[in-house]
Amino acid sequence: MNPDSPNALRFRLTTTTTTNGKGNGHGHDHDHGHSSGFHNCHCNGQGRNIATAAEMKARKAGLKGWLETASFTKWRWDHVVRVVKYHPLPCFFAMSLLFFMGVEYTLRMVPSTSPPFDLGFVATRWLNQALSARPNLNTLFAALNTVFVGMQTTYILWVFLIEGRARPGLAALFMFTCRGILGYTTQLPLPEEFLGSGADFPVGNVSFFLFYSGHVASSVIASMDMRRMQRKELAWMFDFLNVLQVVRLLGTRGHYTIDLAVGIGAGVLFDSLAGKYEESRTVYVAAAPNNGIYSTSE
């Protein structure tokens, strides 16, 4: 047993107390009993102090060992240079964190009496004014956007019904379910200068859930599946049309910029979740019709 450990100190203190107690029990006089009791109290207090000191020493030793094994104590300047050279993207994000921390704490908040500030609306103000002055052009763009939405839907259904792959369809189901929940939970006001059209799909010129953009997310889901299947030209076409769709939605104030940005992330996220679901459940389209649409193997 380590003589400096707290357990050893407690053992010695217990032995001393027991011995003194026996001495008092063998006919010692009253005054000596008081002296022994005082001595025991003094020793016990001193022992506690010694035990506390030993515990602090052990804690310091543990802290020293923790510091000696910590990763950052082994960093060198050449490591920093290699990180900057071979990992520029995380370094960029680290600098961006510092920059936007400064922006966050110095930028004044938009007053409650003012409309929301949207940088995408500022960048597409010219388009909003042009479409507002030309309603027929706005309707034409809305109709073309509806055709693109039909292309997304057709591709996802084709993949499921004809090719027998469920991942894009599962991703779309996950995505629209989550969009419905979030859109109903936080119902954002319709942006000012909104330009509706009866040619829009699926809601025409009525209000709808803004957060997040299902148009953009569906396009991303279809594009990612095209890349998995080596249909790169078709994927690039969908990406280009998606960019035009984003510009049009900003110009007509159909979505805030954050709706469109999160729509891109939602497409990537739910495509990944659909893939993980397929892997975990081993879901596949059955070849034999009498087995039903799906067959699962545990």
- What are the residue numbers of the active site? 215, 255, 259
CA distance 127 to 77: 51
β partners of residue 295: 284
CA distance 195 to 145: 14
Could you give the residue ranges of the DSSP H alpha helices within the chain?
6-24, 30-69, 77-86, 88-106, 119-123, 125-133, 135-161, 167-185, 214-228, 232-251, 257-281
* The pair of three-digit structure tokens given for residue 98, joined into one six-digit string: 């510092």
* Contacts with 273 (C-beta within 8 Å, 6 or more apart), sequence order: 171, 174
| Ramachandran class of 27: left when φ > 0, alpha when ψ lies in -120 to 50, beta otherwise | left
CA distance 271 to 223: 10
CA distance 294 to 240: 34
Answer positive or negative: Cα dihedral of 108, 111, 112, 117: negative
* The pair of three-digit structure tokens given for residue 91, joined into one six-digit string: 């370094």
